[in-house]
């Protein structure tokens, strides 16, 4: 992977050995909550991170969360994303 791709966070295209189709693996981050009578835990599930990003992933995640804490959540963007997802789900039904 080139240095510019590492710095920008772009993932390399991977070519399947069984076909001529190229794809980019998708990293996902899923936040959950587990509410009990005496405690609340917020597990974070993370998957499909390319190996070359593992060394500094925790620092990038912490800095991203810190940026959200400092700048807040863009609620108008959140509304737009939720509306888009609702439309996508509705179109499948």
Q: What percent of the chain has pLDDT over 90?
A: 46
Report the distance separating Cα 46 and Cα 57, nearest Å: 10
Taking 70 as the threshold, does the pLDDT of residue 15 lie above it? no
Q: Mean pLDDT throughout 59-82?
A: 93
Beta-bridged to residue 40, according to DSSP, are 35
Distance of CA 89 to the CA centre of its chain: 20
The full set of domain ranges for the chain reads 3-92
Q: What is the rounded average pLDDT for all residues in the chain?
A: 80
Q: What does the chain come to in residues?
A: 93
Return the higher-pLDDT residue of 2 and 81: 81
Residue appearing with tokens 């995640």: 61
Taking 50 as the threshold, does the pLDDT of residue 5 lie above it? no
pLDDT band for position 76 (50/70/90)?
very high
**What does residue 35 show for φ and ψ, rounded to 5 degrees?**
-100, 125
Nearest CA to 60 among 24, 10, 9?
A: 9
DSSP 25-49: ---EEEE--EE-SS-EE--EEEE--
pLDDT band for position 51 (50/70/90)?
confident
Q: Mean pLDDT throughout 63-82?
A: 93
Q: Mean pLDDT throughout 61-66?
A: 92
């Amino acid at each position: 992977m080139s240095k510019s791709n590492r710095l920008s966070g772009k993932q390399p295209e991977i070519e399947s050995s069984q076909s001529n189709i190229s794809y980019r693996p998708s990293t996902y981050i899923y936040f959950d909550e587990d509410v009990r009578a005496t405690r609340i835990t917020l597990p974070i599930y993370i998957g499909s991170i390319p190996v070359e990003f593992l060394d500094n992933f925790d620092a990038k995640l912490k800095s991203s969360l810190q940026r959200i804490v400092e700048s807040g959540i863009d609620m108008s963007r959140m509304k737009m994303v939720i509306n888009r997802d609702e439309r996508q789900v509705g179109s499948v039904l």
